[in-house]
Structure 1
Amino acid sequence: MALDLAMAEIEMEVEEDSDFGELKQRMGPGLTFVINAQPYLNAVPMPLGLEATCLKAATHYPTLFDHFQRELRDLLQQLQHKSLIPDWRQTQSWMLLKDLATSAQHRAIARTTAVPKSSYGVLGLQLHKVRAIQSRIDDFSHHMSQLLRIERDAELEFTQEELNAIPTPIPTPDEQSSPSKPTEFLVSHSQAEQELCDTICNLTAVSTSTGLGGMHLVLFRVDGNHRLPPTNLSPGDMVCVRICDSRGAGATSCMQGFVNNLGDDGCSITVALESRHGDPTFSKLFAKNVRIDRIQGLADSLTYERNCEALMMLQKKGLQKKNSSISVVSTIFGDQEDIAWLEDHNLVDWAEAELNGLLDTEFYDKSQQRAIALGLNKKRPVLIIQGPPGTGKTGVLKELISLVVKQGERVLVTAPTNAAVDNMVDKLSDIGANIVRVGNPARISPTVASKSLVEIVNSRLADFKSEFERKKSDLRKDLSHCLRDDSLAAGIRQLLKQLGKSMKKKERETVRDILSSAQVVLSTNIGAADPMIRCLNPFDLVVIDEAAQAIEPSCWIPILLGKRCILAGDQCQLAPVILSRKALEGGLRVSFLERASALHEGVLATKLTIQYRMNDAIASWASKEMYNGLLKSSATVASHLLSDSPWVKPTWITQCPLLLLDTRMPYGSLSVGCEEQLDPAGTGSYYNDGEADIVVQHVFALIYAGVRPASIVVQSPYVAQVQLLRDRLEEIPIATGVEVATIDSFQGREADAVIISMVRSNNLGAVGFLGDSRRMNVAITRARKHVAIVCDSSTICHNTFLARLLRHIRYFGRVKHVEPGGSGGYGLSMNPMLPSVS
């Protein structure tokens, strides 16, 4: 790090264009300095036997700064001795270091070097036990910091590739014959664990309005009001907005914003951009073609720094006496002997709390009652609630939070995404508690905006702001009349300045009062690092929903702000998306929920075991494959069918909960047109024309039987197939209301009938990421009454997991051989000979 700065100094002596400016921007006291130092420290092997000391020094700012200062001084003196620089004391790098050393922030950090007492004497553990726990924390923090850096590098590289990508125009037959229809652009990118469709091109800005926090909400549409291409973009995602040239490549600097919403018509997207008065680029958005690119999570410096800071806080303060979450930290990083000691000395307790009439047991099954009772135990530092599909996880969390609040406790509720947080806000809005949603106004759903901190502050300060604006207007009028009197004008300007300060002070006080009095505060995991939340008194309980979708470092941000924590989710459904193979194999994809569930012989976890969504023919497959046979079906749904609805005709299809529509004929031939095709746009995605036709036929059959289109969902793991299916169904008026989505985007939702197009059909038996058991678990368990899978059984059965799925359908449902382009009816052909699976 010092060498880079010294080398940049030499370059400045030789040429004007050097890296010094970039290095200068990266320099800063405290956390910024420590984070930037990590790649250099990790490149040097630690001395044997001194690993623990080195790990502690690697995150200790005063130590790092002193070493850096000595190293830079020695290097600059060597350069002066070689006559490469005139006077090392007058170099910009040394002057930058001195400015840093004299800054108020540096002095404040340097003074706070005393190490408070650790849990030795607090929890009563012996000193060698505390040191062993601290060593595990150090190892974990160091390892995770390395993985975060590796993943961030991968995300930065991917984001840069996406921003620089030139789209490929894909003319359809209709477009070739219709010059009025615009060319659709698809951006080529690599395919990782899932398809990353993060770019939309050929957009036009059509209107703008003002949203929460003064953000500009700009509505973009595809030329000609055609549908947006399949995309993984969702509300709250950070994006880069740029004007693009005729090829679709970015032609201006990036305007950073957030996706506000995707239009219900599928043709528009609204992006929240910061107010840019007088910015010519902003005004030109309304006269040019525009492209929108998603910015990956860790590619955002704030997200990365907050994850790193959480690990540093865990390492430095996890076992300190004043840390409110010390029991959580000791539980997660202690061994079995430590946990037994804490339990024997009544410092932790794993038993269920007495409900004593607090809960109406009529509305909750035994597993739900157990989860609520465990969550109410104030001596239980950690509770993991695994909620398989349809088991009522969100309802359990709602009841648990409601009871905790009634007992006078304060709760912090977080989730990895804004959508998940807003869902919790919506669920908690009727429990009678004082709840506040903290976060960027542009990333908060309009349906819960009334609970946002910005809206509450504006409401409370409405009269004050009105009076403020009146006084400011009067002072400005007075100022315009006395510009010639310098002393009087100066006095009025001073009054205006004081008025502005009073407004800011009032806003700070109001924010503090609102958050301090809130019974439930909600934010994303990353948002919980906001100073407004961190400066509050410790929360009695931290609840993290959808925790299986969050990387572990992000979970420590809210956990360190509370006395105990509850994490809810399902590690058998979709996991965090990790781009770097090295970070993936290093364990970054393993969530806190998954890791904690396996600790201490499973004492930290409980599982909801009765599902209230699916017909048992569907649920029994998920139970056997994913949940060790523990997931049972409620009698209220175990046998329900599409034909149970009074408006649905009782046909063989509506009375069938599981259906395989096989494109492979009984004697081995594949139906014509049912081969997989690689997307010619170079996206790496696949589509299957024949399967799309069969899906449309099955949608017809369901609708003609009386199933409402809004009750039908079509899924595919491939975005190219999703686009093809949307185009086909758009042409059919009676199919209006049928939703088409990727499997990943439909997690957390459900429908009466689900049709899944598997797409893959090849001689090699390659199934791609269809073989991800968690993804298929999500796909199948979205259905309440009917699942239809369209696939080539010969290809799919090369994967043993998928082969077991098809065998389950054969035993508990129906199998039909189908061909595209038929009348919509299916012949009663024989079941295929599926491969035997052990």
Structure 2
Amino acid sequence: MTSVEAFVEKCRDLIELERDEEIKQSTEALKGQSTKRLAERGLCLTRLRFQYTYTGLYGRAILVFEGESLSRVQTFGPGDIAAIYQQGHSIDEQISLAHGLIFRLTANTIHIAIEDNDDEQFNSLGDTCLFMIIKMANDVTYRRLKHGLTLMVKQRQGIAHHLLDIAFDNADPIPSNFSESTGPSQWFNENLDQSQREAVSFALASRDISIIHGPPGTGKTTTIVEYILQEALKRDAKILCCASSNIAVDNLVERLGRKKQLKLIRLGHPARLLESIQCFSLESIVMENYQDVKNAIREDLNQCFNKLRKSTTDRSERERLKKEIKNLRKDIRLYEEKASREAMQSVNVILCTLTSATDDSPLKLLPQNHFDLVVIDECSQALEVACWLALLRAPKCVLAGDHLQLPPTILSEKAAKDGLAITLMQRLTEQYGDKITRMLTIQYRMNEAIMSWSSNEFYEGKLIADESVKSHLLKDLSNILKRDSECEIDDENLSQCPLFLIDTTGYDMPEISCDDENSRGNEGEVALVSIHVQELIENYGVSIDQIGVITPYNMQVQLLRQKLLNKYPTLEIKSVDGFQGREKEVIIISMVRSNLHGEVGFLSDSRRINVAITRARRHLCIICNVQTVSHDPFIKRLIDYMLENAHVRSAFELIDDNNFFQGTILSKKSTVSSKTKQTKQQLKKSKQQSNQRSEATSTLENVLTNILDQRIEAFLNDPNVEKLQFEDGLSPFGRRYVHELAEKHNLQHISDGVGDQRHITIMKKTSVETIKTKKIIENNQAEEEEVNDDDDDDDGKMNEQFRSFSLLEEEKKNLSQIIDKSTKLSKKISDQDLISNEKEENRIESPILDTANLCRYCHKDIPPQNRQLHEIYCQRVNPLSSVAISTTNETSETESSKLNVASERPKTVKKKENKLASMNAEAPINDLLEAARQQDNICNAHRCKVKITLLGQLCSYCNRRYCFEHSMPEVHGCGHQARQDIRQTHISTHANGRPVYETILSVNNSLISH
């Protein structure tokens, strides 16, 4: 078996796998689904009425259906394959009436060109029947690919035999006479750069195969157009020009069509062609040449249709009309074939998609040796077997594309893994290298800062930014709001920022998945995209059509569209595939993935990321969870580059910091009075941004509460699970919400850990034995409190003030440790002790003791397991409150000693604490949290009022934030703990034989870290 035959056999199996996977996905999408559900998913148009039939090009019967608001359906479009059914609740037991292509879609009508011309049944059903149209997959492409594999074997000695030998290691490319001095005497485009001219000259000199490698923005299409013009107009070559997609072919038609001397024809179904290039279509040219004859035949055909529609009784008359219609359609087809052959033989260039270059297309009307060469654009996005459909028609070829960008789309993972994803361009480039390849090196799209990462990562650093784009920024655009020349712009001015990174690490922005887990979304990143788009449009004057939003997941595309399109209807939001070959002044990328396991999915596809990054011209914004995505080595290199070269902001700053994204202009001669003065416009702007942050924060909190509700609901419904532990890093808002839900459902809840390691554990309602154990906990708690009194005395002054919720969390931790120790003691209780305490048990469950479970500060009924934690919270929120519930003097004294609560607060309360301390305990929890957040933005050192919103540092010993002046532990009162830590580290280090200076350096670094 030759290498060609082996390739054919392997590809047959892989194509079958791909076909089976497509059928499987299509069947699963439709199976058991009601028409209502299919309509909601955009796969079905319902309640349509048949209107009439008319004859289209090549005698095709075109059916017209009428419905409501069809233009709003974004999933249907011209060129899609559709099946027509009678209206019903399910399609499982129905047989489609007809299949065809959507020819036109208007506000209220849909036109479908059916292939078998069986339109009589629709006339007979009449106007009373309702229809529905289902979007379908088709097997036409797979049948053509299989036929192409067969031709590769049959035409092994045909016109393209040398190309087959080169591709399958049976021969080497013929050396060309190319040199740097050779080239066309005259260029059609005088503006070509040196690398483009060299690529054209190299392709012209080639005798069999050449490759033009075009990285992003290097003018690959411009180069291909110049080469085609040179071959067609100067050498009179007959050229077949193909690409993998209709849009790529149409792009070439538009560019080539500007040259009036060039004669070209575009093959393909009219429904799939752009309106602007319809005049170059074969159908249009045929109609122009045979207009009179075809009009006469079409008129007779339409008259027959009308008579057939009106004839309902005479059967013989209906049969005669059907036969006449058949003959008339045959006449039209013969005239069109003759006109098509003459038209195609008279032009220089014929353009079509790769899967249209087969013997069941108009190309069958031409002889096999008609073409001198084949040009394939975007070859790197096409299956190799598809390329051979066109390559078998000529002895020479030119391939153009970039195998380091998006590969062909393949549904079957096994087929892709077994080799179907390897393209012809990729294989030949790796096999022959510079012998047959020339790379374009000057790019005309990106700012140099955007280009550099891609150039170094993929193209060996060979890309060079043209001077026209090297340093261009948003501020250079005419529509961008101009700034005062006497003022300098702050560092966060987006009009002067080519790279921008928003890090969501540590913020509650988890990814979410749909039912089938095939896609992902992130509503937190949706909110951040919305903020950034609004900032660019409203504060910088960027127009909507200059912005593109890219995300790798279709679910995120839908979430972004739901959020943004109501306000910005023309904003382009697409997947990476949808932006291939496109560019925008601004590109915003939402990477979506945010999880504790560091899973990045197909974000690790380097080619996909390369495409997303290189769509931007002047401003690139990446929104991601740096901690999650950096688990992939490739993405980590991108993040490292962004951290080094981009403006970096956290999601916390973007949403919560009042000074962020203000676009403030700082005057060189600013004074105190000028800083306090605000114009009406600035006040309005500040209000808009406040509303924007509030909306984003609300969105993020809704996402988190939904997730927590679902987890706790599942926990309550599962009788086999007694305990649920939440992950580390849950925000204060999330922890508060868990505590509230636990109290609502009468669950025991404990918060343990410090800082990022803090987590919450909830347990279901305790048994009678656990309630008795609670009494032992209370009896032993006083001893544990006395042990902690010494440490409390050392920090007496600090405990006089409520600085932040971190103090509350530490007390919760200490309390949970006491509960754990006492719980161990409870296991020693004998059965005899339990019987003897039966009366006490009854007293615990009595109504009188229910009053004892009321909080002494807010007077709410609290479960006994949670009362101590709840009272610590209430006492901290309202430290001046003296109201408490009295049961007995002994109980009051005991509880007071247990909680170590002072009866009175010191009179010297700091001003920065007055707002929180004066708030009533019944105040809304959001107000309390906001007051605590504002207070935590001020240095926690005694009498220091320095704001630390952005530049504060967290002490690892007391878990409080300080300004730079008080950030050292020895300065703000943690010197004792720091010295103990250093001593312990010193001892352990000497035991391991590690040098002392390394230990001291590592400890100092930990002390000054955030």
Compute the TM-score of the two structures, normalised by the length of structure 2.
0.57
Contact 1:817 1:829 in 2 (8 A): no
Between 391-400 and 418-427, report the one with greater CA deviation: 418-427
Contact 1:546 1:569 in 2 (8 A): yes
Counterpart in the other structure of 2:600? 767
Contact 2:35 2:44 in 1 (8 A): no
Q: What do the CA deviations read for 1:28-66 (whole angstroms, capped 9, x no partner)?
A: xxxxxxxxxxxxxxxxxxxxxxxx3xxxxxxxxxxxxxx
Distance 1:764 1:268, change over 3 A: farther
Q: Shift of the alpha carbon at 1:426?
A: 1.5
Contact 2:216 2:443 in 1 (8 A): yes
SS of structure 1 residue aligned to 2:101: strand
What amino acid is the match of 2:463? L
Contact 1:411 1:520 in 2 (8 A): yes
CA distance in 2, matches of 1:463, 1:726: 48
Q: Which of the residues 229, 239, 258 maps onto 1:430?
A: 258
Distance 1:498 1:303, change over 3 A: closer
Segments of structure 2 that go 5 or more residues without pairing to the other structure are 306-320, 484-488, 663-948, 955-1010
CA distance in 2, matches of 1:770, 1:254: 42
Q: Shift of the alpha carbon at 1:236?
A: 3.5
Q: Shift of the alpha carbon at 1:706?
A: 0.7
What amino acid is the match of 1:579? L
Counterpart in the other structure of 1:142? 9
Counterpart in the other structure of 1:702? 536
Distance 1:145 1:749, change over 3 A: same
Distance 1:658 1:459, change over 3 A: same
CA distance in 1, matches of 2:644, 2:153: 53
Contact 1:243 1:250 in 2 (8 A): no
Counterpart in the other structure of 2:522? 688
Matched, 1:155 2:22: yes
Distance 1:743 1:404, change over 3 A: same
Counterpart in the other structure of 1:166? 33
Contact 2:240 2:373 in 1 (8 A): yes
Between 521-530 and 578-587, report the one with greater CA deviation: 578-587
Distance 1:719 1:493, change over 3 A: closer
Contact 2:376 2:400 in 1 (8 A): yes
What amino acid is the match of 2:532? H
Contact 1:815 1:832 in 2 (8 A): no
Q: Shift of the alpha carbon at 1:615?
A: 0.6
SS of structure 1 residue aligned to 2:254: helix
Counterpart in the other structure of 1:453? 282
SS of structure 1 residue aligned to 2:21: helix
Q: Shift of the alpha carbon at 1:283?
A: 7.0
Counterpart in the other structure of 2:424? 592
Matched, 1:317 2:155: yes
Contact 2:49 2:131 in 1 (8 A): no
Contact 1:212 1:442 in 2 (8 A): no
Written as runs of structure 1 = structure 2, the 5 A alignment for 1:649-664 is 649=481, 652-664=493-505
CA distance in 2, matches of 1:351, 1:460: 46
Distance 1:246 1:474, change over 3 A: closer
Contact 1:310 1:553 in 2 (8 A): yes
Q: Shift of the alpha carbon at 1:456?
A: 1.0
Distance 1:361 1:427, change over 3 A: closer
CA distance in 1, matches of 2:290, 2:574: 43
Counterpart in the other structure of 1:513? 342
SS of structure 2 residue aligned to 1:376: helix
Distance 1:501 1:814, change over 3 A: closer
Matched, 1:257 2:95: no
Written as runs of structure 1 = structure 2, the 5 A alignment for 1:240-319 is 240-242=83-85, 245-246=88-89, 253=96, 255-260=98-103, 272-274=113-115, 276-280=118-122, 290=132, 292-295=134-137, 300=139, 302-318=140-156
What amino acid is the match of 1:372? V
Contact 1:767 1:799 in 2 (8 A): yes
Q: Shift of the alpha carbon at 1:493?
A: 14
SS of structure 2 residue aligned to 1:522: strand
Between Structure 1 and Structure 2, whose CA radius of gyration is higher?
2
Distance 1:821 1:499, change over 3 A: closer
Q: Shift of the alpha carbon at 1:380?
A: 2.1
Segments of structure 1 that go 5 or more residues without pairing to the other structure are 1-51, 53-134, 171-182, 187-198, 477-491, 834-838
Counterpart in the other structure of 1:15? none
Counterpart in the other structure of 1:89? none
CA distance in 2, matches of 1:428, 1:412: 13
Distance 1:504 1:743, change over 3 A: closer
CA distance in 2, matches of 1:515, 1:718: 42
Written as runs of structure 1 = structure 2, the 5 A alignment for 1:68-147 is 135-147=2-14
What amino acid is the match of 2:494? I
Q: Which of the residues 378, 388, 409 maps onto 2:215?
A: 388
SS of structure 1 residue aligned to 2:357: helix
CA distance in 2, matches of 1:740, 1:500: 44
Matched, 1:744 2:577: yes
What amino acid is the match of 1:163? L
Contact 1:694 1:818 in 2 (8 A): yes
CA distance in 1, matches of 2:595, 2:322: 76
Q: Which of the residues 767, 785, 794 maps onto 2:627?
A: 794
Q: Shift of the alpha carbon at 1:268?
A: 10
Contact 2:188 2:226 in 1 (8 A): no
Written as runs of structure 1 = structure 2, the 5 A alignment for 1:172-571 is 185-186=40-41, 200-201=43-44, 205=48, 212-213=57-58, 214=60, 216=62, 228=73, 236-242=79-85, 245-246=88-89, 253=96, 255-260=98-103, 272-274=113-115, 276-280=118-122, 290=132, 292-295=134-137, 300=139, 302-318=140-156, 320=157, 323-334=158-169, 338-339=171-172, 342-343=174-175, 354-359=182-187, 362-377=190-205, 379-406=206-233, 407-432=235-260, 433-466=262-295, 504-531=333-360, 532-534=362-364, 535-536=366-367, 537-571=369-403
Q: Shift of the alpha carbon at 1:508?
A: 2.6
Matched, 1:720 2:551: no
Q: What do the CA deviations read for 1:112-159 (whole angstroms, capped 9, x no partner)?
A: xxxxxxxxxxxxxxxxxxxxxxx2222222222222223223223333
Q: Shift of the alpha carbon at 1:494?
A: 13
CA distance in 2, matches of 1:500, 1:200: 33
Distance 1:206 1:399, change over 3 A: farther
CA distance in 2, matches of 1:358, 1:647: 39
What amino acid is the match of 2:504? T
SS of structure 2 residue aligned to 1:587: helix
SS of structure 1 residue aligned to 2:641: helix
CA distance in 2, matches of 1:592, 1:498: 45
How well do the aligned residues superpose, as a CA RMSD in angstroms? 3.8
Q: Shift of the alpha carbon at 1:602?
A: 3.7
Contact 2:63 2:119 in 1 (8 A): no
Contact 2:45 2:134 in 1 (8 A): no
Aligned residues: 632
SS of structure 2 residue aligned to 1:363: coil
Contact 1:392 1:612 in 2 (8 A): yes
Q: Shift of the alpha carbon at 1:577?
A: 1.6
Distance 1:272 1:759, change over 3 A: farther
Contact 1:725 1:740 in 2 (8 A): yes
Contact 1:361 1:369 in 2 (8 A): no
Compute the TM-score of the two structures, normalised by the length of structure 1.
0.68
Q: Which of the residues 469, 473, 495 maps onto 1:637?
A: 469
What amino acid is the match of 1:580? S
Distance 1:753 1:601, change over 3 A: closer
Percent identity over the alignment is: 33
Contact 1:425 1:522 in 2 (8 A): yes
CA distance in 2, matches of 1:750, 1:832: 41
Q: Which of the residues 812, 829, 832 maps onto 2:645?
A: 812
SS of structure 1 residue aligned to 2:405: coil
Distance 1:312 1:730, change over 3 A: closer
Q: Shift of the alpha carbon at 1:420?
A: 1.7
Q: Shift of the alpha carbon at 1:395?
A: 0.9
CA distance in 1, matches of 2:586, 2:298: 56
